[in-house]
Amino acid sequence: MRTAERTQSGADGSRHRDLVRDASLVWVASGIVGVSFGAIAVTGGLPVWGPVVMSLTVYAGSAQFSAVGVLLAGGGPLAAAATGLLLNTRTAAFGLAVADVLGPGRLTRLAGAHLVTDETVAFALAQADPARRRAAFWVSGIGLFAVWNLGVLAGALAGDALGDTARYGLDAAFPAVLVALVLPTLRADARIRRCAVPGAALALALTPAVPAGVPVLVALAGLALYGRKEVRA
C-alpha cells in the first residue's frame, strides 16, 4: 500500500513539475510585460502605489494598460474604469470555459475567478484530462499572478531608469506565448479550428480600426460556429 502511495505521489509530483516547466514561459512573458506596465504608469505621472494596487485588485493585463492610457491622456477615473471593464468582458466567456475546472466551494471559485486570464484558460484547456486541467489552471494562475505583480512593482520602482519600454518589443511576448499554448489544441480539435480561424481573421481585420482589446472581444463571434456540424459533400 505504501509503495503504491509513494508511486502515485511521485507521479503527481512529476506531473506538477512538468506543468511548472511549461507554465514558466508564460510567467517570464508576464513578468516582462508587468515591468513595462509599471514603468509606463509611473513615468506617465501615476504614483508608485497606483499600478501596484491596480494589479493586485483588478489584475487584467491589457485592460490595465488601456485604463492607464485613458488616465494619462487626461480622462477621468470613470472613463478609465469603463474602458477596463469593456475590454475585460471577455473573461466572462473564459470563466464559463473553465467553470468545471476551478473546483468545489465558493471561496475556491472566487479565488479562481480572479485568476482567469487568457493565458490560464489556454493553458488549462490544452491539457488532456480534467485532473490535469485543474492542476494546470492553478499552477499557471498562481504563478502568473505572483510574477505579474512582482514585475509591476519592479517596473514602478525603476520608473524612468528603463527609458522607453516600447523599444524592447515587449508587446510581442504575450501573443507569442499564447500561440504556443493553443497550437496543440487547434491541431487536435477540428471544431475549435472552425471557431478560431474566422474569429482570428475578423480580429485581424478590425485591429487597425478599433481600440486595443476590442478585436479580442469581436473574435468571440467565432464561437457561434462551435456547435455546428461539418457538411460533407
Let me know if residue 3 belongs to a domain: no
Distance (Å) of CA 203 to CA 91, 125, 181, 183, 213: 17, 21, 19, 18, 10
Q: Residue 231's pLDDT is what?
A: 41
User: Is residue 203 domain-shared with residue 112, that is, in the same domain?
Assistant: no
Let me know if residue 183 belongs to a domain: no
User: Is residue 85 domain-shared with residue 139, that is, in the same domain?
Assistant: yes
Let me know if residue 57 belongs to a domain: yes
Report the domain count for the chain: 2
Let me know if residue 147 belongs to a domain: yes
Range of the domain at 66: 17-173
User: Is residue 163 domain-shared with residue 77, that is, in the same domain?
Assistant: yes
Q: Residue 145's pLDDT is what?
A: 94
Whole-angstrom distance, CA of residue 92 vs CA of residue 35: 27
User: Is residue 196 domain-shared with residue 163, that is, in the same domain?
Assistant: no
Does the reported pTM lie above 0.75?
Answer: no
User: Is residue 104 domain-shared with residue 197, that is, in the same domain?
Assistant: no
Residue in the block written with cell 507521479: 11
User: Is residue 160 domain-shared with residue 197, that is, in the same domain?
Assistant: no
Let me know if residue 154 belongs to a domain: yes
Let me know if residue 8 belongs to a domain: no
73 neighbors 83 (Cβ within 8 angstroms): no
Domain boundary pick from 147, 173, 199? 173
* DSSP conformation class of 88: T
- Spell out, as residue ranges, where the chain has pLDDT lower than 70: 1-15, 73, 75, 83, 87, 90, 93, 160-185, 188, 211-213, 216, 226-233
Let me know if residue 10 belongs to a domain: no
Burial of 76 (0-12, 13-18, 19+ CB in 10 A): exposed
Domain boundary pick from 131, 149, 173? 173
Let me know if residue 9 belongs to a domain: no
